[in-house]
Structure 1
Amino acid sequence: MGKGFYISRPLGFVLCGLGIVAMLTIFSLSVVYTKEKRKNQVTAINETGMVTTAAPHTTPAPSNEPWDKYRLPDTLLPEYYNVTLWPRLVPDEQGMYIFTGTSGVALTCIKETNLIIIHSNKLNYTLTLENHHAKLTGLGGTSAPAILKTWFQTQTQFMVILLNEKLEVGKSYWLYMEFRGELSDDLAGFYRSQYTENGVKKVVATTQMQATAARNAFPCFDEPSMKAVFHLTLQHPPETVALANGMELGTESITIEDKKLLQTRFKPTEKMSTYLLAFVISEFTKIQSSEKTNIRIWGRKEAIESGQGDYALNVTFPILKYFENYYNTTYPLSKSDQVALPDFAAGAMENWGLVTYREQSLFYDPKESSNGDKEWVVTVIAHELAHMWFGNLVTMRWWNDLWLNEGFASYVSYLGADYAEPTWNIKDLMVLQQVQRAFAVDALVSSHPLSSREDEVITPDQISQLFDTITYSKVSIMCQRQLEITLLNSDIYQCLFNAVVSGDSRIQLPASIKEIMNRWILQMGYPVVTIDTRTGNISQQHFLIHPEAVVEKPSDYNYEWFVPITWMKSGSNMGQHWLLTKTALYEPMKTGTDWLLANLNVMGYYRVNYDPQNWERLLTQLTTDHKNLNMIIHRAQIINITLALRTTKYLLKEKEYIPWESAIRNLQYFFLMFDRTEVYGPLQVSLFTYYKKSNQINAISMACRTGVKGCSELTRMWYRQWMKNPDSNPIPPNLKNTVYCNAIAAGGVEEWDFGWQMFKKSTIAAEAEKLLYGLSCTKEPWLLNRYLEFTIDPKQVRKQDAAFAIVYISGNVIGQPLVWDFVRAKWEQITKDYDDGSFFFGRLIQGITKKFSTEFELKQLQRLKEDIAASSFSFGTQAIEQAIEKTKANIKWVSKNKAQVMNWLTEQST
């Protein structure tokens, strides 16, 4: 028997301890930090007195010089900035869009130093009269040392200022610079977006600073712990409006270089990190609320006037108020701007007071958009507003603890969305949307812990790779769901008080909070818990998608966890047990003829396996009376790959959405592995028998996928009706994805060209995205190749959509080899135009290699890894490693299961 403890009280009371662990760990975790050493050559100043600081993809030699390390020294702290920027919304004589600016920053000296090191990337600087790139003066009567020289370290993205004397500890100084940069279309830093309205091209100047791109807009101390107050002034054309984090203080007319402009000043920001800074200059219009907190929804005039922003306006204030109560802290700003941008790399960004979104993430058209589009909008808004407190007000010290920001926001976004739309049961979707996603990635040896050492996350590329499934999704199930169930059952502090007063040892934790949670936070992966209901034996093992994979990353905890096992039996008996060792014996796990279901409500971050007899009893329960597993989520959690084919039989009686969606998501793997083999035909025939009982969306989708003739005729009929009358789309919004895809697949160039024209003309982002997907479904190779060429032409497909379109095409069994050849031939070209090439390339590799399941494909993938390693590019290594590991696992799975699946399908058809 293990060294766990047992509780006889109701399950909710038991989970109080688990919630305490989760909550306290989030705020108490600390890790020892060190610094990585890097070096690079200095960039020369050209004859015009300007210097460029674009960083090449090379690795510097080791050096102890502070400017060759990626982290700022701990000698200076910024107090406040004065930044003025003037973006040009028309190209200059060289065809470039530029911006100019001035920046001053008040510095306080913390430790004696004769160096000022400040981030700067892709900026050119004007020389002062002293022939330097900056000017230093003292504040409060302090005299400033003279500048000896300034130079730039392109690898570490620093401007370095060498002084003739040391700065004095406790004294403050003013550092002033003038600079120029390109307002490029790379979707990072200070960049441009554009759209066409009434035949006229409109240019937007906007920002995306996270994670390390504020330095692209102005010189700054670009680390999350270097918080400061920002005083912003924006100069802009008369027909435009300027927005920033703070409320506008006033706008005046000015003339610069014989150009009439507007100059808008903004209220100083709260003390905040550079990555949260934002500003937008555009011809957007707005709608706004009359609440005490001024909520404004901004976007293209056509979109706003057609009502696409109305839903966002309706839900923003309730969600904001919900989080004020949830955090027990008032929203500290006077306004909350939500801006929909035509070009935006991510889904949205939580800039404090000025949240930016893809149009699809903020706009909703009730006539054209689907229920899924509406759900996406409210969830994204809730995620970003959650950050106003957790992330913006309270911020992680360094990017290695990004999981605290994003994981918590991912969790509470479901709470905020549920509050705004209480009839949707959005919280129940967390298991489908977050847990399964995290399980898939965290089962790889190339996964990573939630929290790494600071010295393991140093370069911009390493920081970028942290914005992944583990960071966003794993925390939702590991900590916050346990915390939620605790708060629903009892007040956490009262729970602690009662335990201390009563001396009740039954709710003691089995170890210290740190000892329990470090196993979940500081080592990657998760366990599969195997329960033998015949003997009571329980064991845990590190779950790997490829069981023979070698885990090379050491762990202080030997990949063992303290696992909170919750369970119920046939008679609704419930209990909880801590599994603290590799194996344990627990008598209550013996069931006799009862079934046992563990990990109730999927509250724990682990998988469960049982002895064959218990699996049979669970399957019998599903087929005879599935509602006796009284929570829908229970039925969803036992639809797994191992028993997927047998569990589909019970689905004939299932009426709820979540079990169906869980089954379909898991069975997608069968399609991925077998759609190019002889198994695919019998798979189509067998599975449609069950899918036709599903809800309308899934039923029609699967009918088309499994080759039902009537589905093809129905989708083509709808699509043809639309082609005859382009101004009146007869296709139900919830079925558009399925209809567009299948009608274009069944048609030819005429159907494809019509879809393309509708895509180009669409003024609704969600509609454009559905067409982007539908166009990938054609069976004509030449059309797919033409489409691929369009994806890397920003005039045809926006850069924000390029990776999605390529991945969509790879999902087509005909398009997959075309995409693979295309990406291998042009991977340098298709990533060079992106400031964050690592994120873009990782998204591509993850999407286009999902089907890989042969030794030949594995060798090609390994060759691509070698080609990248031999090039000057340093990104993409994690994505390639994960793709290789998944491919190996797929090869093994197909080899083991192909004949078995084929036999089962054959038996069902006889």
Structure 2
Amino acid sequence: MYLFIGLSVLLIAVGAADHPISWYHEFEKELRQDSSARNDEQIYRLPGDVVPLEYDIYIDMYFNERTDRPFSYDGRETIIIQAVTENVTQITLHANVDRINAISVLTDAGMLVPVNTQQPFFTEPLYHFLKINLAQNLVVGQNYTLFIDYTSTMNEGPMKRGIWRGSYIDANNQERFYATTHFQPYNARQAFPCWDEPLYKAVFKLHLSRPSHFTNSYSNTGVRLIESDLRNRIREHFWPTPRMSSYLLTLLVSESFQVIAEDRSFSPAIRIIGRSNTVGLADRALEFAVKMTQHFDEFLQYPYAELDPHLNNDHISSPDWASAGTENWGMVSYRELYLIQNSSETIMSVEHYASTLVTHELAHKWFGNLITCYWWSNTWINEGFASYFGYIATNQIFPEYELHEHFNSRYLQATLSFDSGTGTVPMNHDVNTPAQVTGHFGTISYNKAASFLRMTVNMITQDTFRKACQYFLRENSYEPTDQYDLFSAFDRAVTEDGTLNEYLHFNFTHYYDVWVNQPGYPILMVEINHSTGDMQLSQERFFLSASATPTGQIYPIPITYSTKSSRDFENLKPVYMMTSDKAVRTKAVGEEWVIFNHQQHGIYRVNYDDKTWDLIGDALVNEPGNIHHLNRAQVVDDVFALMRSGRLTYAKGFHILKFLYKETNYHVWNPAISGLSWLRNRLRFLPEQLAEFDSIILGYMDHVISELGFEPAENETPTVSLTRQEILQLACNIGHQKCVEDSQEKFNAMKDEVWIDPRIRRHVYMTGVREGGREEFDFVLRRHQQSNYANDQLEMLRALAATRDPQLLTEYLELTLTSTVRSHDKLNSFNFALTGNPDNVYTVLEFVKNNIDAIRVAYIEDAPPTPVNSALNNIAAYLDEPGLVDYEEWLRTTQVGTMQYSGALSSIQSARANNEWGANNADMILSAMRDGSATVVVSTALLLATAVLVRLV
């Protein structure tokens, strides 16, 4: 323990500059940050002239027992630091706390370092900088001790991160408090002054004090010593952490959290920690954590127990959490929704995702914690590996979820959709400001990076990938890394194993460089001469906009394909690496279907000549079993994108898609529902055309509904359960008569206390409330208030939002302003009011007009996810032209200068463009769908009646 001396007020700040690394001559070299000439965005970064080595942090947590400053904390810390450049007279670090009380700097011998008496220290709030002015230079390489005394306040709820407080109701119906942390990516500075950039790794020694009636505290490491005093308080001293980044530090203090599931056969024990009234409800989460820890220990040959002797392997089930989960080292925190499960209460989609989430966060123990990105520009390294393992590794241990196939809709297809714009960025992309950093935690860093890794694994083989992972971790343990360190590990493993030798003239360095450092992805154009068997291949960057300017970018494309006469869909290793804009491959002579990109594992779209599309379309109708279901899904995903981009006519596209009338596979229907919903949303305000569109969709769905039925089978696979959930929700929303009737019957039975399988509750809940009135609304609301399951509560919020009654909808929206709806659910709950029944949009708009100030407070306007911006932007998509005029007038007369003003106006323009597109193209779309339809469309009069009664999201 260090002696705290508040003799002189002095602040030290450490700058964050990347240290030298190995460079590969094939790459275009990027300049390291020059602290003497930084632009307006780089100024958010630390200068890099001082580095921290060790933190010793004392935090005293106070709840409502302190009447003068409730829910606050007092902190004091000593930081051992070193100057790494000459002539340092100013220390810069991050601090975003309420008040700095005292600062001093001491030499290694304990002597005070004199400060500038005119201005010992000052803060720059915009950059969260704390700057300490010294009266003499720091000696390079010499240890100094920086002492800081400070006070601050817990944030209310998780949305603003830092140290925050929440509450819960225990088994005795008493409200209980807890406080915890969420620091990633730049919020450790809210808890204690620090070098809050991932580059600055250090050892952390944490000491927490709490009220004595609170249960044990938790952190990254185990408790070394417990002390009590005469003020009814207890202080717990934790073991030092391994060398790590500041954002990985964490703590939890609560009134009654406890271990609710554990496996003590491991060292450290694997524990699930949560509310006292959730004991026995985390066994499935524990099973995920245990088996996946075992898997990573074996796969990486770097056992968890070897990472640090004092690290915990705890998993916190938090009633509130801003994201799904966060990888704090030794103590991962999750939104309770995913860890607390009961087979009689949890919908399959939650269980399905939870399995991937636990693996994702465990993978971070190695990829993200043991090694960490230099800077958030390299976020894709942390998140790409965790996302890849979340599906691929989990599938190996829990094959019943078929996650290797769900990877396509979760990651690959999401990547293709997002990365088709003109303004997308590469995986490795420069970010500096807090908004830029937060924005980089998205589709490119997670989805595209995971898809890139899977595509690469198919090329180099799983064994070589495993070797590369082991090299990467062992060579960079406890250090910050970047794309070059990762490349080095890949290159070494590939060279040793020779797994790319078969590809003549292929340069792995170029492949890696393009996919990591260039945005977008290609479309592969295939022209086949069936009389000769020649297949002419060409590529260009794919843009969804037909007017986008070509870039000339060439991507290295892993080529796989199957033909009717030579089917090989299970072979995922490329037969050829296409590295030019054109190439030729040869198949057998004769007319036959050809499908490129086996199981849609490559990050590219495919377009064929008309004849080949006809052959594919015929095969999908007459012999669908001969084409892998993931490639049938690929056809659907590509066709909708090709139609939107103008590369394929809607007539041609729907002719190809007519096979959906016989399709029952989840992976095929998932992109089909997305594509059909995109079109339908543009016909929203054309009642006659919308009604016909709906009737055609119901025709498409008739067979799959018949095959699935309305009741889950006893031993059906999770994927079948997910198919039914998505299909029946869509069918009930559109107005499928049998779906609505069956759902109402089940809802009424539920009111009579008949148990309804959670796998079908979503559409049953929603239809019951939508078709009902006050009685049905109040029944679900009471059930919500009595439930002990966050996942079921969320489904009930979704249902309450589907009411058609304006008064009930207003009451529901008012609930989002209260603690009944947790802060992380408020935006989703607001959106449910739009998606559950789009006719409700005028009620939603009036609610916003009447409550905008309360919304800004309750939804936490300045939270990093900007929930109020999202809420106001989303309204426009559901308004017709008179509504848009009304909304715009309100914005221009009352909201000028607010954080949401510009974004909301922009959303209005987008909505008008979408509505105009729908009006201009409705007849063409319906004509194409009729030509591709295999069923008879019902009368227009009936269609109009249907449109009045029910409208889809």
Q: TM-score, normalised by structure 1?
A: 0.84
- In structure 2, the residue matched to 1:379 is 356
Task: Spell out, residue by residue over 1:55-89, the C-alpha distance to the aligned partner (whole angstroms, 9 max, x if none).
Answer: xxxxxxx889xxx9211111111011111112212
- In structure 2, the residue matched to 1:220 is 194
Match of 2:666 among 652, 657, 664: 657
Q: How does 1:727-806 map to 2 (within 5 A)?
A: 729-791=754-816, 793-806=817-830
Q: How does 1:265-304 map to 2 (within 5 A)?
A: 265-282=237-254, 283-286=256-259, 287-293=261-267, 294-304=269-279
- 1:709 lines up with 2:737 in the alignment: yes
2: CA distance between counterparts of 1:499 and 1:219?
Answer: 43
Q: How far is the alpha carbon of 1:247 from its aligned partner?
A: 1.1
Q: How far is the alpha carbon of 1:116 from its aligned partner?
A: 1.2
- In structure 1, the residue matched to 2:53 is 79
Task: Spell out, residue by residue over 1:188-239, the C-alpha distance to the aligned partner (whole angstroms, 9 max, x if none).
Answer: 1000011112221111110000111100011111000001110011111222
Q: How far is the alpha carbon of 1:822 from its aligned partner?
A: 5.4
Q: How does 1:374-523 map to 2 (within 5 A)?
A: 374-453=351-430, 457-484=431-458, 486-488=460-462, 507-508=502-503, 510=505, 512-523=507-518
Q: How far is the alpha carbon of 1:902 from its aligned partner?
A: 4.7
Q: Name the SS for the 1:700 alignment partner.
A: helix
- In structure 2, the residue matched to 1:676 is 685
2: CA distance between counterparts of 1:176 and 1:75?
Answer: 18
- In structure 2, the residue matched to 1:106 is 80
2: CA distance between counterparts of 1:29 and 1:276?
Answer: 32
Q: How far is the alpha carbon of 1:821 from its aligned partner?
A: 6.3
Supply the AA of the counterpart residue of 2:113: A
CA contact (8 A) 1:114 1:162 kept: yes
More deviation, 837-846/109-118: 837-846
2: CA distance between counterparts of 1:310 and 1:760?
Answer: 24
More deviation, 808-817/846-855: 846-855
1: CA distance between counterparts of 2:908 and 2:299?
Answer: 40
More deviation, 414-423/766-775: 414-423
Q: How far is the alpha carbon of 1:545 from its aligned partner?
A: 2.5
Q: TM-score, normalised by structure 2?
A: 0.80
Q: How does 1:94-243 map to 2 (within 5 A)?
A: 96-112=70-86, 113-126=88-101, 133-140=102-109, 144-146=113-115, 148=117, 149-187=120-158, 188-197=161-170, 198-239=172-213, 240-243=215-218
- 1:687 lines up with 2:704 in the alignment: no
2: CA distance between counterparts of 1:661 and 1:150?
Answer: 57
- In structure 1, the residue matched to 2:936 is 909
Supply the AA of the counterpart residue of 1:707: G
CA contact (8 A) 1:230 1:269 kept: yes
- 1:314 lines up with 2:287 in the alignment: yes
CA contact (8 A) 1:252 1:264 kept: yes
CA contact (8 A) 2:384 2:453 kept: no
CA contact (8 A) 1:147 1:163 kept: yes
Question: 1:606 and 1:505, CA in 2 relative to 1: closer, same or farther beyond 3 A?
Answer: closer
CA contact (8 A) 1:253 1:261 kept: yes
- In structure 1, the residue matched to 2:336 is 359
More deviation, 668-677/733-742: 668-677
Supply the AA of the counterpart residue of 2:825: D
- 1:547 lines up with 2:546 in the alignment: yes
CA contact (8 A) 1:435 1:474 kept: yes
Q: How does 1:632-651 map to 2 (within 5 A)?
A: 632-640=629-637, 641=640, 642=643, 645-646=654-655, 649-651=658-660
Question: 1:562 and 1:499, CA in 2 relative to 1: closer, same or farther beyond 3 A?
Answer: closer
Question: 1:140 and 1:480, CA in 2 relative to 1: closer, same or farther beyond 3 A?
Answer: farther
2: CA distance between counterparts of 1:313 and 1:394?
Answer: 25
Tell me the number of residue pairs that the alignment of Structure 1 and Structure 2 aligns.
Answer: 834
More deviation, 408-417/340-349: 408-417
Structure 2 gap ranges (5+):
1-22, 469-489, 569-573, 644-651, 710-723, 938-953
Q: Name the SS for the 1:111 alignment partner.
A: coil
Question: 1:757 and 1:298, CA in 2 relative to 1: closer, same or farther beyond 3 A?
Answer: same
Question: 1:597 and 1:558, CA in 2 relative to 1: closer, same or farther beyond 3 A?
Answer: same
- In structure 1, the residue matched to 2:484 is none
2: CA distance between counterparts of 1:719 and 1:145?
Answer: 74
1: CA distance between counterparts of 2:321 and 2:500?
Answer: 54
Q: How does 1:503-902 map to 2 (within 5 A)?
A: 507-508=502-503, 510=505, 512-534=507-529, 536-549=535-548, 558-572=552-566, 576-582=575-581, 584-588=582-586, 592-629=590-627, 631-640=628-637, 641=640, 642=643, 645-646=654-655, 649-677=658-686, 678-694=688-704, 695-696=708-709, 697=724, 698-725=726-753, 729-791=754-816, 793-811=817-835, 812-819=837-844, 830-831=855-856, 833=860, 836-841=863-868, 844=871, 871=897, 873=899, 888=913, 891-892=916-917, 895-896=920-921, 898-902=923-927
2: CA distance between counterparts of 1:289 and 1:75?
Answer: 45
CA contact (8 A) 1:673 1:851 kept: no
Question: 1:652 and 1:243, CA in 2 relative to 1: closer, same or farther beyond 3 A?
Answer: same
1: CA distance between counterparts of 2:880 and 2:588?
Answer: 40
Q: How far is the alpha carbon of 1:591 from its aligned partner?
A: 6.4
Structure 1 gap ranges (5+):
1-23, 40-61, 127-132, 552-556
CA contact (8 A) 1:431 1:602 kept: yes
- 1:250 lines up with 2:229 in the alignment: no
Task: Spell out, residue by residue over 1:366-400, the C-alpha distance to the aligned partner (whole angstroms, 9 max, x if none).
Answer: 11112222112111101100100000011100011
Question: 1:903 and 1:109, CA in 2 relative to 1: closer, same or farther beyond 3 A?
Answer: closer
2: CA distance between counterparts of 1:635 and 1:200?
Answer: 53
Q: How far is the alpha carbon of 1:752 from its aligned partner?
A: 1.4
Task: Spell out, residue by residue over 1:640-671, the C-alpha distance to the aligned partner (whole angstroms, 9 max, x if none).
Answer: 32466445543454444322334333322233
Q: How far is the alpha carbon of 1:747 from its aligned partner?
A: 0.6
